[in-house]
Amino acid sequence: MAIRRILIANRGEIAVRVIRTCRSLGIETVVAVSSADRDSLPARLADRAVCIGPARSSESYLKVEAVVHAALGTKADAIHPGYGFLSERAALASACEANGVIFIGPTAAQIEAVGDKLRARDEAEAANVPVVPGGAVTSVDEAAELAARIGAPVLVKAVGGGGGRGMKRVDRLSDLRGAVELASAEAGAAFGDARVYLERYVGSGRHIEVQVLGDGNGRVIHLGERDCSVQRRYQKVIEETPAPALPAGVRKALHLAAVRFSERLRYRGAGTVEFLVDRETHEFYFLEMNARIQVEHPVTEAITGVDLVAEQIAIADGKGLRLSQDQIRFNGHAIESRINAEDPNNSFQPSPGRLTAVTWPAGEGIRVDTHIVAGSQIPPFYDSLMAKIIAHAPDRSAALSRLREAIDRTQLSGVATNLAFHRKILADAEFQTGGVDTGYVGRLLEGSVSKEARHG
Amino acid sequence: MTLTAADVAEIMKLVEESVFDELTLEVDGKKLTLRKSGVAPGADGSVQAATASTLAVAAPQSAAPAPGAAVVAPPKAPTDPNVQDVAAPLLGTFYRSPKPGAPPFVEIGATVQEDTVIAIIEVMKLMNTVRAGVHGTVTEILVNDGGLVEYGQTLLRIRKTS
C-alpha cells in the first residue's frame, strides 16, 4: 500500500521536519494540534491541521483515541509520531494496528520490549551486548545484597523510567535502603510501575549512541554513532558525529553491538541504541534503546546524506531497507546545538512567551530545524526546544567554527535563550579537545559559579 | 539608528492603540512589519529565507485565527450576545441522531434546556453525548451528520431564553 497522506501526531520543530520530507516525497500532511498550537508554523505548513484537544498534552498530544480518530477522520494512511509524546507508547502502535492505520515506527511488541528497561537489559545480554553490572531487585534486602556485590556508588533506576527520570545515585551503601524505598514509591507514582533495578554508577562515562534502521525482518544497518555527552541533568545540549577521541576498534564494536541488539528484536524502522562508554578504558555498556526518531538525528543525516524520515516512511510503507551497509558512507563532521527558550541565569527555567524578532543563520554547511518565526509563541505547556542548529564541515574544528559563527549570527528577542551557554561551551578548551564525559557541563557550570563567587 | 527590543515594544503598543491595522517601517535597511489582525508571518515556512535584513513582528493576535491558516476557522462568532455557540468538547465524528435513521436530537427552532442532549460525538467507538449547556432555541446547526469535528469547533448556536 502506498502512503499518500500522513497525520503528524506531534508539534514543534519535528512536525516541521516531517512535513519537509513529506513535501519532497509528494505526501500530503495533516498535523494534529492542540488549541495552543492552532497558529503554529506546522499548522500553517501542513496541508491540513486538526485540533485534537486543549493545550494540556494529557488532553491532546497524549490522547491515543483522539490521534487515531483524527487520522481515520482525515483519511490519513499513516501516523508519524515524531519523538516524545506518544512516539514510544505501545498503545498508539496497537491502536494503529487495530484500525488499519500504518504506524511509522516499530511494532507495539518492540516498543514494549525496549520500554521495559529490565527486559531491554535481558535482551542486550542475550544479544551478547555488555550491560552495566547490576540487575533487578524485588526487595530492599535483595538490593542490599546486590549493591554489596557490585560496589558503591550505585544507581537505583525505575524500570519504567528512562532519559534520566526515576534515577537515584547512592554513594554510601548505608543509604541504599532508604533510596530504594523512595525510588520505588516515586516510580510507582510517576510511571505506574514501582519496580526498580540497580546499576553500578560509571563515574566518568560518555554517552554515545548508534543510529540503526531495521526492515522488521531481521535485517539491520547502522548509520554511525553520535556523541551526546554534553548534557545538563540528563538533557542533551550538544550532539556530534563522529564521536571525537574514540579508538577505531571501539567505534566499530559499538556499531556492531547496536546492530546485534536490533537484529535480535527484528527491529522495524529507525531506532537508537544508547551506550555508556568509560572515558578511560573505553569499555562500553548498553543503556537503552530509543524506538523512534531522535531529536539529534540531523547530525547523522549531515554526514551520511541519508534522509532518516524518508527511510522511516519507506520502511513503514513496506519498501524495506533501501540501503545496504556498504552504501552508508561517512563524510566529514557534524555538530548540533539545541537552542532552548530557557534562562541560564535562572537555573535554566523555561521562558515561555512570544518571539518578537527572529534571525536564524544560513550558509554553507548550516542547517536549522525550527518551528520558530517572528511572532511565534512558546506556550508554557510543552518543552522549550526552539531550534537545532547543525553545522557540517570536512573536519571537527571546521564544523566547530561554523557552528560558533552560526550561533553568533542567531538573534532571538522576546524570550530568554541558552545561546550564551552554547557560546561558552563551544569556546571551552576541554570541549574543543573533544571526548568529554557526561559530568562536563556540571563541572563547567560549577566552575563559573565558584569563579563568580570568588570575584564577588 | 537601530531598533532595540524596547523600541519595538513601544511601537507595538502605539500600533495596538491606533486605528491602523498595519505598519511597515524601514530603518537602516531593517524592515519592521506590524499587523494587528494576527496575520501569520513567514507562512511559506522557508525558515532559511529569514535573513538579517528582515525583521517581522506580528502584533498580539486577536481572538480570530489567522486568515489563510490551515486550521479550520470556526465560523464568525455571532454578534448577538444572546446567541451562544456550542463548541465540540472533543475531536470526533459528529452525529445528530442517537442511531442511523432515528430522528435528530434537535432541529432548528427546537427549544432546549441546559441538559438537553443535542448531539453525539464518537471517538474510537466511544459515544460522548453533547449537551446544550444553555436554555434557549436552536438557531443554527453548523456541522453535517457524520462529519469530523475538531476540538472547540462550533457545532450549533442557541438563542438564550431570558
> pLDDT at residue B73 above 60?
no
Contact criterion met (CB < 8 Å) for B91 and A35: no
> pLDDT at residue A318 above 60?
yes
> pLDDT at residue B110 above 50?
yes
Give the separation between CA A51 and CA A35, rounded to whole angstroms. 6
Give the separation between CA A315 and CA A95, rounded to whole angstroms. 19
Contact criterion met (CB < 8 Å) for A44 and B65: no
Alpha-carbon distance A2 to nearest alpha carbon in chain B (angstroms): 24
Q: Which residue has the higher pLDDT, B34 or A187?
A: A187
- Please list, in sequence order, all residues whose beta carbon lies within 8 angstroms of the beta carbon of residue A187, skipping any fewer than 6 positions away: A158, A159, A160, A161, A166, A193, A194, A195, A196
Does residue B61 sit at the A interface (CB-CB below 8 Å)?
Answer: yes
Question: For residue B17, with 0-12 CB atoms within 10 Å meaning exposed, 13-18 middle and 19 or more buried, which class applies?
Answer: exposed
> pLDDT at residue A454 above 70?
no
Looking at beta carbons, which residues of chain B come within 8 Å of A66? 90-92, 123, 151
Contact B40, B69 (CB under 8 A): yes
Contact criterion met (CB < 8 Å) for A374 and B41: yes
Pick the closest to residue A367 from A424, A302, A430, A292 (CA basis): A302
What's residue B33's pLDDT?
Answer: 67
- Please list, in sequence order, all residues whose beta carbon lies within 8 angstroms of the beta carbon of residue A61, skipping any fewer than 6 positions away: A9, A10, A11, A32, A34, A52, A53, A67, A85, A86
What's residue A224's pLDDT?
Answer: 98
B60-69 residue pLDDT tens: 333 333 333 3
Set of cell numbers at residue A366: 548550516
- Give me the residue from B47, B69, B151 closest to A370, CB to CB: B47
> pLDDT at residue A225 above 80?
yes
The mean pLDDT of chain B is 74
Q: How confident is the model at residue B7 (pLDDT cuts 50, 70, 90)?
A: confident
Does residue A52 sit at the B interface (CB-CB below 8 Å)?
Answer: yes
pTM over 0.90: no
Q: How confident is the model at residue B36 (pLDDT cuts 50, 70, 90)?
A: low
> pLDDT at residue A209 above 50?
yes
Amino acid, res. B149: V
Alpha-carbon distance A103 to nearest alpha carbon in chain B (angstroms): 17
Q: Which residue has the higher pLDDT, B70 or A263?
A: A263
Contact A185, A194 (CB under 8 A): yes
Does residue A24 sit at the B interface (CB-CB below 8 Å)?
Answer: no
What's residue A12's pLDDT?
Answer: 98
Looking at beta carbons, which residues of chain B come within 8 Å of A359? 50-52, 55
- Give me the residue from A38, A66, A375 closest to B56, CB to CB: A375
What is the arithmetic mean of pLDDT over B105-110? 97
> pLDDT at residue B32 above 90?
no
- Give me the residue from B57, B69, B148 closest to A374, CB to CB: B57
Phi, psi of A223 (to 5 degrees): -120, 40
A226-273 residue pLDDT tens: 999 999 988 999 999 999 999 999 999 999 999 999 999 999 999 999
What's residue A420's pLDDT?
Answer: 97
What's residue B76's pLDDT?
Answer: 59
What's residue B53's pLDDT?
Answer: 32
Lowest model confidence (mean pLDDT) among A318-322, A334-338, B2-6: B2-6
What's residue B16's pLDDT?
Answer: 66
B-interface mutation test, from A20, A44, A97, A369, most B Cβ less than 10 A away: A44
Contact criterion met (CB < 8 Å) for B38 and A39: yes
- Give me the residue from A41, A45, A66 closest to B123, CB to CB: A66
What's residue B68's pLDDT?
Answer: 36
Q: How confident is the model at residue B71 (pLDDT cuts 50, 70, 90)?
A: very low
A374-422 residue pLDDT tens: 999 999 999 999 999 999 999 999 999 999 999 999 999 999 999 999 9
> Quick one: closest CA in A to B8, which residue?
A356
* Distance from chain centroid for Cα A257: 19
**Interface A:B, Cβ pairs < 8 A:** 126
What's residue A202's pLDDT?
Answer: 84
Q: How confident is the model at residue A355 (pLDDT cuts 50, 70, 90)?
A: very high
Long-range contacts of B26-32 (CB under 8 A, 24+ apart): B27/B1, B27/B2, B27/B3, B28/B1, B28/B2, B29/B53, B30/B2, B30/B3, B30/B54, B30/B55, B31/B55, B31/B56, B32/B3, B32/B8, B32/B56, B32/B57
Contact criterion met (CB < 8 Å) for A60 and B151: yes
What's residue B75's pLDDT?
Answer: 58
Percentage of chain A beyond pLDDT 90 is 88
What's residue B91's pLDDT?
Answer: 97
Give the separation between CA A99 and CA A190, rounded to whole angstroms. 30
Give the separation between CA A357 and CA A414, rounded to whole angstroms. 7
Contact criterion met (CB < 8 Å) for B50 and A373: yes
Contact criterion met (CB < 8 Å) for B70 and A47: yes
What is the arithmetic mean of pLDDT over A149-169? 84
What's residue A161's pLDDT?
Answer: 76
A31-87 residue pLDDT tens: 999 999 999 999 999 999 999 999 999 999 999 999 999 999 999 999 999 999 999
Lowest model confidence (mean pLDDT) among A168-177, A352-361, A363-372, B141-150: A168-177
Contact criterion met (CB < 8 Å) for B40 and A44: yes
Looking at beta carbons, which residues of chain B come within 8 Å of A374? 41-42, 50, 55-58
Q: How confident is the model at residue A452 (pLDDT cuts 50, 70, 90)?
A: very low
Looking at beta carbons, which residues of chain B come within 8 Å of A19? 45
Contact criterion met (CB < 8 Å) for A374 and B42: yes
B-interface mutation test, from A65, A408, A411, most B Cβ less than 10 A away: A65
Contact criterion met (CB < 8 Å) for B41 and A373: yes
Give the separation between CA A169 and CA B133, rounded to whole angstroms. 53
Q: Catalytic amino acids of A?
A: 292
Hey, CA dihedral for A64, A67, A73, A76, is it positive or negative?
negative
Give the separation between CA A387 and CA A340, rounded to whole angstroms. 7
Hey, CA dihedral for A59, A62, A65, A67, is it positive or negative?
positive
Does residue B156 sit at the A interface (CB-CB below 8 Å)?
Answer: no
> pLDDT at residue B48 above 50?
no
A432-451 residue pLDDT tens: 999 999 999 999 998 865 55
Residue found under cell 432515528: B102
Looking at beta carbons, which residues of chain B come within 8 Å of A411? 52
> Quick one: closest CA in B to A373, which residue?
B42
What's residue B149's pLDDT?
Answer: 97
> pLDDT at residue B3 above 70?
no
Amino acid, res. A306: V
